[in-house]
Amino acid sequence: MHEVSIVEALIEQVEGEVERAGASGQVTRLGLSIGRLSGVQVDSIRFAFELLAPGTVVEGATLEIEEPPAECVCAACGARTELDELCLECPACESHEISIEGGREMLLQTIDVDEV
């Protein structure tokens, strides 16, 4: 489960950002964006976060995860189709002249800190 190492890196990133910002309060919420084609299991991220958060700067924080879809863009027919899984041809016309846009990102979007 590589999600554990992802959450470890996430906690390190949050610690660095909080320190860099000079924030002294408690981290209350994290907002993540994990694309549906990223290969990362959101439930495993949540589980790893619950396991690793105690004793860190994110202890007690709420983890909110957005799961943006990918989009198949067809050069042949111009169709734009939302995807939940990878495709090799256009769902509308079956052309192989496609590109996949988005859905592969994994970003820390927001860190909310309750300043004391």
Cβ atoms 35, 70 nearer than 8 A: yes
Convert the pLDDT of each residue in 52-93 to its tens digit: 999 999 999 999 999 999 999 999 999 999 998 899 999 999
- Rounded to an integer, what distance in angstroms lies between the CA atom of residue 101 and that of residue 82? 10
Q: What is the largest CA-CA distance in the chain?
A: 58
The answer to whether 28 touches 18, Cβ cutoff 8 Å, is no
What digits encode the pLDDT tens for the residues 12-23?
A: 999 999 999 998
97 located within any domain: no
The structure's pTM equals 0.85
- As given in the structure block, the two tokens for residue 93 are 């016309």
Q: What's the domain count of the chain?
A: 1
Determine, yes or no, domain membership for 87. Answer: no
Tokens 């999600």 correspond to: 3
Residues 6+ apart with CB under 8 A from 94: none
Q: Is residue 44 part of a domain?
A: yes
Residue 82 lies in a domain: no
Structural domain span for residue 57: 3-68+103-114
Is residue 95 situated within a structural domain?
no
Domain CATH code at residue 18 = 3.30.2320.50
Domain membership of residue 22 (yes or no) is yes
Closest C-alpha to 95, from 108, 70, 76, 69: 76
Q: Report if residue 81 sits inside a domain.
A: no
88 assigned to some structural domain: no
